[in-house]
Amino acid sequence: MGSPPPVDLFQQQPSPPPQPPASPCAKLEGWLQLTAPLFTRQYDAYVKLTSAQQNQARRHIQLAESGKTSGPAKSRQITFTIPLFLSYGTRVTDTLSALASTYAKLTNAPWSASLHSITTCDFDVNLTLEVSNHDGKESVTVVSERLAVNMMDTATRNKTAKQSYIPFLQSCILLESLPKFADSLAHGKTIADYMPLLEASLFRNMREPLHFLTLADGMTQYWGQPVEVSPCCTALHRENINGSTASRNRGELLVKSVSYNVVDCDTQCGFMINIHYYKGEDFPSVGIVSNQYMNAQGTGVLQTKLRAPKTFVSRKENYDEDNFLSAPLLVEEVGKASFASMAGLIATLK
């Protein structure tokens, strides 16, 4: 057998590939681990819980240092940008698209699924926390928290904002009543406790205007197209729209409402029916006004208001999975009670 070839111990070996520098997120996570180990374990548990969903959606939790406090070195302000609705699939975009299309149907506005359906709908919560450790005692305080919304449809993407329903949708979603992380933290709750609570509350605020419009649409089988319908909860100023961001009036909240004009064929007596909707689990306020008399002798305004039927609102089977009163059953109940009230007003006029 031949001897093996000699090996040059001084032969230059290929150098290993350069390692990328540690990301800002990794550095901050390492600092968090040393400074606030309890909070870090809670945060890591949430990251692991949602890691598969983050990878699938290609939206990940981001960390950034917002600035150092004036105190000791072991005190920093860190902003966590956390994506929402990663486990909801298409439920959010489907709900918002249905909200826009139903509104278009009730107002006879243009609607095209290819132009107006929601293509992008990203919600992120930005939590700025001050994290510190003094004498081995960690502290986490909420500095600020806000919701970042990025909604887009094809009309917005094509820069034809006047045809977009995005500003309308933004005016329908109530953001002022959402749960705060500061409150959850004060009660010993973790990020893993808070995030599902925030998501459920925000999704409910999207479903509620759709529930209202489903009721309004159902009433058209009795009274025809409404003369006015407003599912918005905040004022909308179209002239201030910039891209996909709508300007809001942060003042008084609006009440969802819809109005119909109805004429009784037999008596030619006319009625204005006004529905004011407050919450999905409550019976709406329904007012009926007689606006035309059968003879010239009538002078006063005749009106009535429906009372919420206790037997209807007390039955659990009348509520859907969102704990809203079932829209089809609500349509039937409002229609039945309204016709009974109108018959009573007609009898008064005779």
**DSSP for 211-270?**
HHHHHHHHHHHHH-S-SEEE--SSEEEEEEEETTEEEEE-SSPPPEEEEEEEE-TTT--E
Roughly what angle, to the nearest 10 degrees, separates helices 191-223 and 91-107? 30
pLDDT-based confidence at residue 15 (cuts at 50, 70, 90): very low
Q: Are 245 and 325 in contact (CB under 8 A)?
A: no
How high is the pLDDT of residue 302? 81
DSSP 14: P
Question: Which residues have CB under 8 Å from 119's CB, separation 6+?
Answer: 93, 152, 153, 154, 157
Q: What is the pTM of this model?
A: 0.82
Mean pLDDT of the chain: 83
CB 29 within 8 A of CB 48: no
pLDDT at 80 over 90: yes
Can you tell me the distance from the alpha carbon of 28 to that of 22, in angstroms, rounded to the nearest whole number? 10
d(CA 97, CA 88): 15
pLDDT tens digits, 111-130? 988 888 898 899 999 999 99
Which of helix, strand or coil describes residue 45?
Answer: helix
Q: What one-character DSSP code corresponds to residue 54? A: H
Cβ atoms of residues 142 and 128 within 8 Å: yes
Q: How far apart (Å, rounded) are the C-alpha atoms in residues 76 and 133?
A: 10
Q: Residue 12: what pLDDT? A: 39
- Please tell me the distance from the alpha carbon of residue 350 to that of residue 346, in angstroms, as a whole number: 6
Q: How far apart are CA 231 and CA 254, in angstroms?
A: 9
Given this model, what pLDDT does residue 144 score?
94
* Cross-sheet strand order for the sheet of 75-83: 62-68, 75-83, 118-134, 137-153
Phi and psi angles of residue 46, each rounded to the nearest 5 degrees, phi first: -70, -40
Per-residue pLDDT of 276-303, as tens digits, reads 999 999 999 999 998 765 555 555 568 8
Amino acid making up residue 208: E
Structure confidence by residue, pLDDT tens digits, 185-234? 999 999 999 999 999 999 999 999 999 999 999 999 999 999 999 999 87
At residue 73, does pLDDT exceed 60? no
